[in-house]
Structure 1
Amino acid sequence: MSVVVFVGPTLGQRAVGEILQAEILPPVRQGDVYRVARESPRAIGIIDGYFEGVPSVWHKEILWAMEQGIPVFGSASMGALRAAELADFGMIGVGRIFEDYYARVLEDDDEVAVLHSLAELGFQPLSEPMVSIRATVARALETGVLSPGPAEAILKAGKALQYRERDWPRILTVLAQEYDLNAFSDWLPEGKVDAKREDACEMLRQMAAYLESGTEAPEAPVRVERTLAWQGLTRRIDGDTTRDRSGAQDLLDELRLDPARFAELRERAMLGVLAQEDAARRGLHADREALMAQMDRHRAQAGLTQRRDILHWLEANDLDESGYEDFLGSAALTDEIRALRADRLEPHMLSALRWAGGYTDLKARAEAKEAALQGAENGAFSGQDRLRLLIWYFEERLGQPVPEDLDEHAQTLGLADREEFCTLIAREFLYSQGVGDTAGASDA
């Protein structure tokens, strides 16, 4: 573990990776900083964190991380709040939001709070933080888009809204009867300021510069008192980790009793490890679209039609929502790396086939098929012919439903598109039926 950044709605993984190579974790919550600090990362960055419904990160665990010689940076959201409170103890705050909290220009936590989507949807922000509203109004004043009266009214209307309901359409609707804000509304899409994003990016740049400089972390000015509450937190997290590791070993021991299955899963795991390493070297990250595609694929495969089904599956498989996102992200990156390496896989697949002992049988079958279909017309398929072929292959032969996205299915097999795939199964149908040069796809 080199560098850790806790981030959610403020920045996506790709945006973080463009500035700093780091392990990206979901918004920080109580115990998370202590948990990662035990692995001795070179630095910890806190951008986003939970405010309500989930216990917030403790000041003491940040102090404990700094006591271990780990520099802790904070910015934008929860990171700015904790940095303002702990700057005098050595936490490194970055950005205008941090400075305003440190100087007590801002005091309310709701200034940086936003409503956001679940982890499996990429923590997409669903409301506007008050700090961004303030920065946007300031820019509009500077550029002459707003005059002082409407500007003040916008700030009051925004602040009056509960953070979950705070967004530009609602604010403009509230003021529509009192002010003409058409010019401001037209300017807003291009002119608005994402204050949290700007500060978060600046923090990542400072972290990158700090790490590149090789500067030693400053000595922590205080030692964390090992209070009963602190001991309770550390015992709980240490105990959870011990149980997790013990449970994992017990499960693997059960798997070892089935050597063939163990070997198969070990090979899959190795593919995942290599894909992750290759993706890191290439600076690749699973974006929201890729995560959603993987989630749809997994839900269809596992029969998880309702949200309660997903929650039950997560509990049964010892995953929380952030763990599920990692699970989907790993699959997405493996698929992406597999596609990028497709032209280099074929000779290795043939080697694997030789090792498994199936090479000669498949070679004989391929040669027999080519001889049997010599001169057969593969022509274009009508929609009805194609449907009959697909039903024959998937439902009758494989005993599974026809995939919804045939192009995607074809690409997973290393084919260009559904046309190549349909040609493949048409040839198989003809051969399996013992049809020669009189064959046509309409026989399916």
Structure 2
Amino acid sequence: MSAVVFVGPTLASQSVGEILQAEILPPVRQGDVYRVARETPRAIGIIDGFFEGVPSVWHKEILWAMEQGIPVFGSASMGALRAAELADFGMIGVGRIFEDYHAGVLQDDDEVAVLHSPAELGFQPLSEPMVSIRATVARALEAGMISPGLAEAILHAGKALQYRERDWPRVLSMLAQDHDLTVFSDWLPEGKVDAKRDDACEMLRRMATYLESGAEAQEAPTRVERTLAWQGLIRRIDSETAGNRSAAQDLLDELRLDPARFVELRERAMLGVLAQEDAARRGLRADRDTLVAQMDRHRSQVGLAQRRDVLHWLDANDLDEAGYEDFLSGAALSDEIRSLRVDRLEPHMLSALRWADEYSGLKARAEAKKTALQVAENREFSGQDRLRLLIWYFEDHLGQPVPDDLDLHAQSLGLADREEFCTLVAREFLYSQGGGDAAEAPDA
């Protein structure tokens, strides 16, 4: 494990990958730093973390990671808060927000807190952090876009809002009517500052430099006191991990009783590992739109129409929302790598057919179909006939519904679009009906 970065609403995974090659994890919560530190990564970076709803990351687990010789960087959000508190113990804080917390200029947690979307939608920020409002006002004041009085009014309005409700439209709506906001409002879309993003990128560059040179100065690590609370945390996490491993082994033992299925899934898993490694080398990351498309595809395939269905499926499959995002991301990256390697897959697929002793049978069928369809090769079907053919193929032949996105289905089979796929289905129908011109499209 090279490096680990905990990030969520502050920065998209793709943006992280453009600066630093690292394992990207969701916003940090209690126990997460201890979990990853056991794997001895070369560095840990904390950008985002949970402030409420779940226990926040402990100071002691960060100290324990540093005790193991792992440098821990912090910036932008939860990372800046913890770095300010632990800078004297060796945690490496980066950026203006960290500096302001460390100097006591900032003290409230709500300065960096934001409302964000759930994991399956990529932790998209839905409110504006107060630190960004402060940085934007400072830039506008320096550029002459606002007066000192208006600057003070904007900051007062922003701070008066609860962090979940804090955004620019609400802030501006709270200002007195005598303020002239026209110039500032026109300047705001291009001029506003994303202070957390700027600091997070600076931290990632600092981590990249460290990983390349190993030159980051380290304080002598402080030994964590093994208090009862600390021992309780590590016992819980260690037993949780052991329990998960035991449950996984029990499940795999059941799978081993079906040897053919076990071998099939093991081969698929191996290809998944290789695809993930290839994606990491290429710096590929699944962006929000890709994750949403992958989620829609999975929900349609498994039949998860409502959110409660998704939550039930997650519980049944031992996943939380962060794990579900990882699951979707892995599938998306495998699809991406497959599309990049498509021109190199055919020889290996033919080899797989030979190994399964299915090559000669499919070859004979392909040759027979080609001979049988010579007369009907240019047969055309109307749009209505094509629909009937698709219903015949999917519902009657495969016993499944027609996919909502035929182009996506075609591409998953290595075809260019739905036209190529419909031609494939039409040829199969004609062949199954005897291959002649007299074959009629099936009834819907």
1:240 paired residue number: 240
Distance 1:441 1:282 in 2: 46
Other-structure match for 1:412? 412
| Coordinate RMSD, CA, aligned | 1.5
Tell me if the contact between 1:374 and 1:437 (Cα under 8 Å) persists in the aligned partners. Answer: no
Letter in 2 for 1:398: L
Match of 2:138 in 1: 138
- Residues 373-405 of structure 1, C-alpha deviations (whole Å, 9 max, x = no match): 113153553221111111111111111111010
Alignment of 1:153-232 (within 5 A): 153-175=153-175, 177-215=177-215, 218-232=218-232
- Deviation of 1:215 (Å): 2.9
Displacement after TM superposition at 1:89 (Å): 0.7
- Helix, strand or coil: the match of 1:50? coil
Matched, 1:6 2:12: no
Per-residue deviation, 1:188: 1.1
Give me the whole-angstrom Cα distance separating, in 2, the residues matched to 1:195 and 1:134: 9
Q: Distance in 1 between matches of 2:105 and 2:78?
A: 16
Moved more, 176-185 or 323-332: 176-185
* Correspondence 1:21-420 to 2 at 5 A: 21-175=21-175, 177-215=177-215, 218-420=218-420
Residue 140 of structure 1 aligns with an amino acid whose one-letter code is A
Does structure 1 conserve the Cα–Cα contact (< 8 Å) formed by 2:95 and 2:202?
A: yes
CA distance in 2, matches of 1:375, 1:187: 68
Separation (CA, whole Å) in 2 of partners of 1:36 and 1:276:
19
- C-alpha distance 442-37 of structure 1, shift in aligned 2 (>3 A): closer
Are the structure 2 counterparts of residues 328 and 32 from structure 1 closer, same or farther at C-alpha, using a change threshold of 3 Å?
A: same
TM-score norm. by structure 1 comes to 0.97
User: What SS does the corresponding residue of 2:24 show, helix, strand or coil?
Assistant: strand
| 1:85-129 alpha-carbon deviations (Å, 9 max, x no partner) | 110111100000000001100000000000001011000000000
Q: How far apart, in 2, do the equivalents of 1:377 and 1:87 lie?
A: 74
Structure 1 position 231, deviation (Å): 0.6
1:218 is displaced (CA, Å) by 2.4
TM-score, normalised via structure 2 length:
0.97
> Aligned partners of 1:217, 1:250: CA distance in 2, in Å?
46
CA distance in 1, matches of 2:4, 2:90: 18
| Contact in 2 for aligned 1:403/1:409 (Cα 8 Å) | yes
CA distance in 2, matches of 1:201, 1:63: 24
Q: Secondary structure of the equivalent of 1:175?
A: coil
Three-state SS of the structure 1 residue aligned to 2:420 is helix
How far apart, in 1, do the equivalents of 2:56 and 2:300 lie? 35
Taking a change above 3 Å as real, the CA distance of residues 435 and 136 of structure 1, as seen in their structure-2 partners, is same
Asked if structure 1 preserves the Cα contact closer than 8 Å seen for 2:89 and 2:221, the reply is yes
Q: Describe the superposition over 1:314-363 as per-residue Cα deviations: whole angstroms up to 9, x where unpaired.
A: 11111111111111111001111111111111111111111111111111
The answer as to whether partners of 2:69 and 2:221 remain within 8 angstroms in 1 is no
Supply the distance in 2 between the matched residues of 1:163 and 1:171 (Cα, whole angstroms). 11
Aligned equivalents of 1:301 and 1:38: distance in 2? 37
Q: CA deviation at 1:219?
A: 4.8
How big is the shift at 1:435?
Answer: 3.2
Distance 1:28 1:87 in 2: 18
The one-letter amino acid of 1:240's match is E
Residues 197-244 of structure 1 deviation map (CA, whole Å, 9 limit, x = unaligned)? 000000000111111112376253421111110110011011101111
Equivalent-residue separation in structure 2 for 1:397 and 1:97 (angstroms)? 61
Gaps of 5+ in 2: none
- Gaps of at least 5 residues in structure 1 are none
Partner amino acid for 1:6?
F
**In structure 2, how many angstroms separate the alpha carbons of the residues matched to 1:117 and 1:408?**
26
Q: Partner of 2:218: helix, strand, or coil?
A: coil
What is the DSSP-based 3-state SS (H/G/I as helix, E as strand, rest coil) of the residue aligned with 2:174?
helix
Rounded to whole Å, the distance in 1 between the matches of 2:436 and 2:99 is: 79
Contact 2:4 2:45 (C-alpha < 8 Å) held by counterparts: yes
CA offset at residue 73 of structure 1?
Answer: 0.5
- In structure 2, what is the equivalent of residue 429 of structure 1? 429
Task: Provide the rounded CA distance (Å) in 1 between the counterparts of 2:97 and 2:216.
Answer: 26
Say whether the 8 Å CA contact 1:378–1:441 is kept in structure 2.
Answer: no
